[in-house]
Amino acid sequence: MPAAITCVEDLRAMARRRVPRMFYDYVDGGSWTESTYAANEADFARIKLRQRVAVNLENRSLKTRMLGQEVAMPVALAPTGNTGMVHADGEILAAKAAEAFGVPFTLSTMSICSIEDVARHVERPFWFQLYMMRDRAFIRSLIDRARQANCSALMLTLDLQVPGQRHKDRRNGLTTPPKPTFPNLVDLATRPRWCAGMLRTPRRTFGNIVGHARGVDSISTLSTWASKQFDPTLSWQDVEWVKKLWGGKLILKGILDPEDARHAASSGADALVVSNHGGRQLDGAPSTIESLPAIVDAAARQMEVWLDGGIRTGQDVLKALALGASATMIGRPFLYGLGAAGQAGVRKCLELIASELDLTMALCGRTEVRSVDRGILLPGTFPTAQRTHHRAH
C-alpha cells in the first residue's frame, strides 16, 4: 500500500485508475442529476465540531456493540452489488478484511461471490442482505441458505421496489460481466491488473442467483429474470413474513421518513438503517444526515438506528453518532479501497476511518465513542428533528 494514501479520497483516485469505467461509475454514480448523492456528503461538511482542550484523553475506546455483537468501531460494511466486479473475488476479500479488523460485513443478494463462497472463507458469521423478489420460493431458499451459512442477521432493503434511473449505468451499457463491445475492450485494455485478476477467478456473475433461481442458468437468462423480479408490491406485511421466516435478527435498510421509521419500529425488526441507497434511487430526496434526527426521535427507543450514505471520513461517523445514530455503515469507501488494492485496500479504508474517528473524538474532548452526543457539535450548524419536520411541511 503506497505511503501516500492518507484518506479515503486517495483510495478513490487509485480505484478510478484501476477499475473498468462501467464498474467504477456503478460504484461512484447516483440517479438523475445526482443531487441527493452530492447532498449526502455536503450536508456532513456543514456540521461543525466543538474543539475542547485540557481534558484527559488517555485510554480512548472506539469499541461498541451492533445487534449485541462487540465491534472494533461503530462501522459496518454495507451490502453492495457487483462487489466482485470492482476486484476479483471482491466480496470474499472485503469479508476477510472486515473480520480481521473486527467490524461486521454484509453480503448483498446481488453479489458475485455466493453466500456459500463467502462462508467458506471466514471464521465468524456475517450478515446477509435480501431484496424482495416476486419469486417467493427463491426468497425462501435465499433465507435458508443464509441460515445454513450461519449468517447472524438478515438485512431487508426496502427502497428498491423499482430501480432508480442511473444515467451513467445506461450510458456505459452496464452488464455483469461486461459485454465484449469495442468501447469495453478498449477500456479493459488499460486495466491489466483487473483483467488478470478476473482471468484467475471463476466468479464473474451473480453467484447467489445463477444456478439457484428457477430458470436462471446463464447470463442471458439472468438479465431477463432480474428485470422482472424486483417486487413493486412489497408491503409491511411482507416485512413481517420475512421476520417470521428468518426468525433471527432483522435489519431494515432504506428508511428516510419518520412515519416509515414508526412502521419499522412496530414491525419487530431489531435495527433500521437511515439510507437513501447512496443517492441512487430517488434523486431530490433529503440527505441521510439531514433525515437522521427525526428518525431517531421516531424509533430509537424501540430499535437501533444506524446511518449510511455520504460517510467518507471518521469525522462523518462521529457526526452521525452525535446526532443519535448508534452505528454507521459504509459502502463506497470500502469499494474504493477494494478497487485500489484488494483486501489490503479495504483494511486501509477501515484503518483510516478508525484513526480519523479516534483523533476527532479526542479533539472534541471525549474518550469513549459510546459517550458521544450532540454536545460535541457547534449549535446552529446541525440538523434537528424539528428543523427537518418543519422543512417537510
Positions marked active-site: 277
Nearest partner of 359 among 104, 49, 66, judged by Cα? 49
CA separation for the pair 330, 313 (Å, rounded): 10
Write down how long the chain is: 393
Q: Are 138 and 109 in contact (CB under 8 A)?
A: no
Name the phi and psi angles at 385, rounded to 5.
Answer: -60, -40
Give the span between the Cα atoms of 265 and 65, in whole angstroms: 19
Convert 211-245 to b/e letters by CB count within 10 Å (16 or more is b): ebbeebeeeeebeebbeebebeebeeebbeebbee
Spatial distance between the Cα atoms of 270 and 264, rounded to a whole number of angstroms:
9
Burial of 300 (0-12, 13-18, 19+ CB in 10 A): middle
Greatest alpha-carbon pair distance for the chain in Å reads 66
Q: E strands of the chain, at which residues?
A: 64-66, 69-71, 75-77, 106-107, 127-131, 153-157, 249-255, 271-274, 304-308, 327-330
Q: How far apart, in whole angstroms, are the C-alpha atoms of residue 360 and residue 354?
A: 10
What does the alpha-carbon distance between residue 33 and residue 21 come to, in Å, rounded to a whole number? 19
342, 64 contact by CB (below 8 A):
no
Query: Measured between alpha carbons, how far is 249 from 153 in angstroms, rounded to an integer?
Result: 5
- Euclidean distance between CA atoms 292 and 300, whole angstroms: 10
